[in-house]
Structure 1
Amino acid sequence: MALEDYVGKNIKQICDRFHKGSDNHCAHFVSHVLGLSFGMTCKGMVLGGKSNAANLRVQEIFPKCGSVKEWEDADKVKTGLVFVTSINTDVDIDKKYFENVGKKHIGILFRGNIYHYSNSNNKVIKQTPDTFFSYMTSAYGTLKKFYGSIPTSATGELS
């Protein structure tokens, strides 16, 4: 499925296992799209279903990226992952460490837009980076912003 085809979809339309509305599904969405099935997965949380297993945790995806850097240092033309968190979160780029906190989010940078699961809207949305960062600032306050290359373990293709 093309990334654009996910826009407007609820997590229930993406995963037939783990889709409670009160859960944060940003990493879950990204992992289904990219085929990231390491660490804590929806299959590990809920038995049954036919969807492939997909990771659920932002902090587990961050260290799997081939490279991570500050957003300001990223080549914003390249496809990759965008991570945001509140300014008080412990993130160490050199050690590829991302603290497990409630205020964290991930999206996919693709063709100049960021695709991510909006938990407040219960669907996948597409935004320009400026709009995305403004949107996330309203939720988290001052942000730390990062870019990560797509993990080499990814089996999904973007089109």
Structure 2
Amino acid sequence: MCPGGAMSFNMKAADLDAYLGKPIAKICDRGYHPDAENHCAHFVSHALGITIGTLCGDMNYATRHTGATIRVNELYNGLRSRGPWDNRPPGTDGLLIFVTDANRNMINNRMGQGPQKHVGICYMGKIWNYSNGRHAVVRDASVESFHLKFKRTYHGTSISLYFGEVP
């Protein structure tokens, strides 16, 4: 379960629920929404106002340096407080939750550019994240169901969870 206590962002479950079922084209005001791209970090960053690394606006010359973060590894690596899920700060609710193949993508608490990585927002025990298969925001019922979903999707033995505190 997501830890309870102080929030690391200023949203409520109802705010996050308002995104459910929405495609990235209804979330991104910079016009960056190709179906072939992974939009999990893009959704999370628009929802929480995160601007670390490459932004959606950078994908078009006219809107460069605007928008929200689009790359999972740049998001993770740009956070000051991050690490394995089991080491998350006690008493904090509202964390980013990352899932990746630790053997392929993690070295010294830095996430690489390899495939098999995803991010969502963990709040009140649920995970809001962007389903690239459904092309819409979904909510997983628990950390355990989110983790299991990606263990099945990524078919790996080292599919691990990591946390990140929202800046």
* Aligned position for 1:5: 18
Q: 1:76: how far off?
A: 7.9
Q: Which of these residues, 118, 122, 126, is aligned with residue 135 of structure 2?
A: 122
* Aligned position for 1:150: 166
Q: Please, what TM-score do these two structures have when normalized by structure 2?
A: 0.80
**Number of corresponding residues:** 147
Give yes or no for contact 1:86–1:141 (8 Å, CA) kept in 2.
no
Q: 1:117: how far off?
A: 0.3
Q: Does 1:89 align with 2:94?
A: no
Give yes or no for contact 1:118–1:125 (8 Å, CA) kept in 2.
yes
Report which stretch shifted further, 1-10 or 101-110: 1-10
Give yes or no for contact 1:79–1:108 (8 Å, CA) kept in 2.
yes
The equivalences for 1:98-113 within 5 A come to 98-113=111-126
Q: Distance in 2 between matches of 1:78 and 1:131?
A: 18
The residue identity in structure 1 corresponding to 2:45 is: S
Moved over 3 A (4+): none
RMSD: 2.0
Q: Structure 2 stretches of 5 or more lacking a match?
A: 1-13
What is the CA deviation profile of residues 16-46 of structure 1, one whole-angstrom value per residue up to 9, with x for unaligned ones? 4110111100000011011112321110102
Q: 1:145: how far off?
A: 1.2
Q: 1:108: how far off?
A: 0.7
Change (3 A) 1:58 1:104: same
Q: Distance in 2 between matches of 1:85 and 1:31?
A: 18
* Aligned position for 1:64: 78
* Aligned position for 2:93: 78
Q: Distance in 2 between matches of 1:110 and 1:29?
A: 15
Give yes or no for contact 2:85–2:161 (8 Å, CA) kept in 1.
yes
Q: Please, what TM-score do these two structures have when normalized by structure 1?
A: 0.83
Q: Distance in 1 between matches of 2:91 and 2:145?
A: 15
